[in-house]
Amino acid sequence: MKSIIFIAPPSAGKGTQSLMVSEKYHMPHISTGDLLRAASKEKSERGTYIKNQMETGGLVSDEITLELLKERLKKDDCNNGYILDGFPRNVFQAKAYEDLLKSLKKDFGVVIILDLDKQTALDRVIGRLTCGNCGAVYNEKFEESRPKKSGICDKCGNALSKRADDNAETFEKRYDTYVVSTEPLIQYYEEKGNVYHINSGDPKEIVFSNIEKVLGGK
């Protein structure tokens, strides 16, 4: 199966759907957000820079993001396709990513866009809880997404936590960046083809079913 790029506004469910696709199709889920969070813990100049940018809602430089992504794509588990979540975010990154794929001799794949209105996205950010052990995502503001036991992961029993950057102020910055930078990216990909729009305001099971239709049920 070819690689998949997910594009969506903040908290539209990229992480949740990526994990569901990964489990069903046995493809590695590569979240640039996860790569950056892991790198931010490095005791290095790069780690300190990434940590500061993430805590203030700023964007990490394309050079560093591409560096981390290249390191990940060179691993053997990416040889038969992968799910790319959170990158590219703009046309410049898209072109740089295409150059990266050529250098690694990898195919492009398809682009899936998860559409979501701003207010719903904000509610999802404020209520989001994540499991640091298995990566599962929950939301205390939506009944269908709440963990069965408050603060505890249903899958592995690990304590859930809220990201430091999951707040309204940081959301506004990210949403504005999405509108300015990512919407032109969508147009860029639509002109190239292989783009599919899915309403991510539906329950996650319906969203996943629609993704499966795009993938052909393989």
Of residues 123 and 159, more confidently modeled:
159
> What pLDDT, on a 0 to 100 scale, did the predictor assign at position 27?
93
Q: Which of 75, 155, 163, 204 is catalytic?
A: 163
d(CA 126, CA 68): 28
- With bands split at pLDDT 50, 70 and 90, how would you rate the model's confidence at 133? very high
46 is catalytic: no
Cβ neighbours for 194, distance < 8 A, ≥ 6 positions apart: 108, 109, 110, 111
141 is catalytic: no
72 is catalytic: no
- With bands split at pLDDT 50, 70 and 90, how would you rate the model's confidence at 78? very high
Q: Which two tokens stand for residue 43?
A: 């005791």
pTM over 0.85: no
d(CA 9, CA 50): 21
For residue 218, pLDDT over 60 is answered with no
89 is catalytic: yes
Mean of pLDDT over the chain: 90
d(CA 189, CA 175): 20
CB hemisphere CA count around 196 (13 angstroms): 18
In the CATH scheme, what is the code of domain 4-117+176-215? 3.40.50.300
What distances in angstroms separate CA 21 from CA 77, 83, 137, one per listed residue? Answer: 15, 8, 14
**pLDDT by residue (tens digit) across 83-94?**
998 789 888 889
d(CA 117, CA 172): 13
14 is catalytic: yes
Query: For the chain, what is the radius of gyration of the CA atoms?
Result: 17
For residue 217, pLDDT over 60 is answered with no
For residue 1, pLDDT over 70 is answered with no
d(CA 130, CA 150): 12
